[in-house]
Structure 1
């Protein structure tokens, strides 16, 4: 579904992402993890073309993004960043309607079929009773669901999420991640997301990609990636890795900072 091949991304002469290759199959949830400043969000933005890549290429459904019109890319892929802002007077319904813009010509108004998709996206995200509410009046979890509804209205094949649980309490973090997993399983949307919480990455991912110093340190199933050695080597933390009740998803219990060799 999506390939990032030998991506290199630099800021002000500093290379942040170095020759990263990442392949994501259709219908997968892939989480990108790694220490602060390792290049996770930069990689996601490079994949989406929000920021330019110094070298390398990105392909979606076999087509190179570089050769695709921006509007076509927007029809196939959507990115939601950590902090999203709306005008003070924008309602949930108005925000969600923006998801239809990539499918319209600049002079076209929303059609009845567009409004059906908007209604569907609002319903899918459990926001039917909030549709006339101002986005700024929503709680953090509700606000994230509103942005995800906007992305759904866009009808993308691939959804990119940059730390979707940032600033949310634990209950709302789980609410958002459960929604993402439901949309993935029921609608077949391919998801690539940056996460900080290793246990959340373990629970909600089909595969995990570990980024360290702008390069892929490890990639694979959660059980193969989330090991004691990886956590010590990449994060500098000693941790217990346990499996509960026969689960295939490891649980991480940080213990202490690892001693330097």
Structure 2
């Protein structure tokens, strides 16, 4: 299978407001991409277009050379998984059942073993047996990540396209670090692509291979972290007075707010 997901001249307008305007990009397996931008830039909307959750007003998204609209829901769900910013299933199931929901496109074959593997991989073993509604916001985020990975699980590893909307927003420092390290390790095998909306520019700079910067629905900058996380770029598109330096532990830019 062609290992790219391509968006060509995407547009989306709701009423008089242009939410996404002429966005084109290509995503490749084995790559980690961070979507950044100020509030209201269109990051979550673009994520929904790229995953087929929203239809475009014009333009096209294609996976493996085929438009998303031509994929059946079941087939598409076996190749891409989405972790939304807020997910409430509407029923009070135990953690294992929530994670097992990710296996719905595949049927029940091997479900129990896969759920066990994914719980261990994501550090959710300690949550086994807990009811989902009793979990903290951060614990729920970790369980939703496990569900998304279970959805893409093939031959002892996830494969395909994983889209995450602010996956670290409710996590403490330790779990932020563990989540991003895990996603980095999984993508290095070359069969998984991760595209994540991140508000924390420093996390994006440390983790991503490529950063896409949106502003008012337009893709205004993209490239390696060092090419996008620059003082002039951040000041222009965020309107914030910042300083940009280098991370002391490696070759990654870091952003500091000016006093």
Decide: shared fold, TM above 0.5: yes
Stretch of structure 1 that moved more, 207-216 or 53-62: 53-62
Give the match for residue 129 of structure 1.
126
- Residue-by-residue CA offset, 1:147-175 (whole Å, 9 max, x unaligned): 11111111150000011122334444334
CA distance in 2, matches of 1:245, 1:169: 21
Stretch of structure 1 that moved more, 25-34 or 242-251: 242-251
- Residue-by-residue CA offset, 1:55-101 (whole Å, 9 max, x unaligned): 11112222221211111111100111111113452111101111111
Query: TM-score if structure 2 supplies the norm length?
Result: 0.90
Deviation at residue 138 of structure 1 after TM alignment: 2.2
Stretch of structure 1 that moved more, 53-62 or 203-212: 53-62
Q: Is the 8 A contact 1:96 1:147 kept in 2?
A: yes
Give the match for residue 107 of structure 1.
none
Deviation at residue 186 of structure 1 after TM alignment: 5.0
For 1:168-179, what aligned pairs fall within 5 Å after superposition?
168-179=171-182
Unaligned 5+ runs, structure 1:
105-109, 257-261
CA distance in 2, matches of 1:87, 1:64: 31
Unaligned 5+ runs, structure 2:
153-158
Confirm whether residue 49 of structure 1 aligns to residue 19 of structure 2. Answer: no
Q: 1:187 to 1:92 in 2, by over 3 A?
A: farther
Deviation at residue 17 of structure 1 after TM alignment: 0.2
- Residue-by-residue CA offset, 1:186-221 (whole Å, 9 max, x unaligned): 574200011111101101100000001111111000
Determine helix, strand or coil for the equivalent of 1:237. Answer: coil
Deviation at residue 180 of structure 1 after TM alignment: 2.7
Determine helix, strand or coil for the equivalent of 1:147. Answer: helix
Q: 1:177 to 1:30 in 2, by over 3 A?
A: same
